[in-house]
Amino acid sequence: MPNPSLRPTWDPFRAEAIIADHAQMPGALLPILHALQEEFGHVPEPAVPLLADALNLSRAEVHGVITFYHDFRHDPAGRHVVKLCRAEACQSMKGEHTASHLLRRLGIDWGGTTPDGSVTVEPVYCLGLCATAPAALVDGEPHGRLTPESLAGIVEEARRA
């Protein structure tokens, strides 16, 4: 996973190159959106007309697809992204309690980013880690059997790194 702090700011030429790389695939829009988010950390608004043009869609259609999917961010995330599972198996192991501890500690709500821009906490519904619940992906790395203490430690370690 690329270091989010090293992500480039909006670059229309880079965006056009990414779009051109995928435009010939059947059903290209989702792969392109993933690639744009991988590059920029979110899907920047100026990409919408470029996508519409390349794929022969209206801007409204492109906007409709971006906003339908929970994954695509409209704004850059923090330098570290914590994806915390809120689904039933994690609930059964006090996942909500663990999550609310972290959110309180960071002073943010679900989907929020700390004021220093270091951590974003996003909800996910199932990571397939249901027998080692509660679970999270921190910067793409899996962590299971979380407690409020262990999760705080993992997040602090990521922040210091």
Partner 1 sequence: MNTAPISPIRLLIPQDVAALAVGAERVVKAITSHAAADGTAITITRTGSRGLFWLETLVEVETPAGRIAYGPVNPQDVPGLFNAGFLLGGAHPLRLGRMEDHPWLKGQTRLTFARCGIVDPLSLEDYEATGGYKGLRHALSIGPAAIVAAVTKSGLRGRGGAGFPTGVKWKTVADTKAPQKYIVCNADEGDSGTFADRMIMEGDPFCLIEGMSIAGIAVGATKGYIYSRSEYPHANRTMRAAIAEAYRTGRLGTDILGSGVTFDLELRVGAGAYVCGEETALLESLEGKRGQVRAKPPLPAHKGLFGQPTVINNLISLATVPVILAEGAAYYADFGMGRSRGTMPIQIAGNVRHGGLYETAFGVTLGEIVEGIGDGTATGRPVKAVQCGGPLGAYFPPMLFDTPYDYEAFAQRDGLIGHGGVVVFDDSVDMAAQARFAMEFCAIESCGKCTPCRIGSTRGAEVVEKIMAGREVDANLALLEDLCATMKFGSLCALGGFTPYPVLSAVRHYPEDFRRRHAAAAE
Number of residues that bind partner 1 (CB under 8 A): 42
Give the span between the Cα atoms of 74 and 35, in whole angstroms. 14
Q: How far apart are CA 118 and CA 141, in angstroms?
A: 17
Q: Which is nearer to partner 1, 38 or 107 (CB)?
A: 38
Residue 108 interacts with partner 1 (CB under 8 A): yes or no? no
* Integer CA distances (angstroms), 57 to 18, 74, 77, in order: 17, 20, 27
What DSSP line would sit under 131-160, residue for residue?
Answer: TS-S-EEETTEEE-S--HHHHHHHHHHHHH
Binding status of residue 101 toward partner 1 by CB under 8 A: no
Q: Does residue 70 touch partner 1 according to CB under 8 A?
A: yes
What are the φ/ψ torsions at residue 26 (nearest 5 degrees)?
-65, 135
Q: Does 35 bind partner 1 (CB under 8 A)?
A: no
129 binds partner 1 (CB under 8 A): yes
Q: Report if residue 2 touches partner 1, rule: CB under 8 A.
A: no
Binding site for partner 1 (CB under 8 A): 26-31, 33-34, 55, 64-65, 68-72, 83, 87-93, 124-133, 135, 137, 140-145
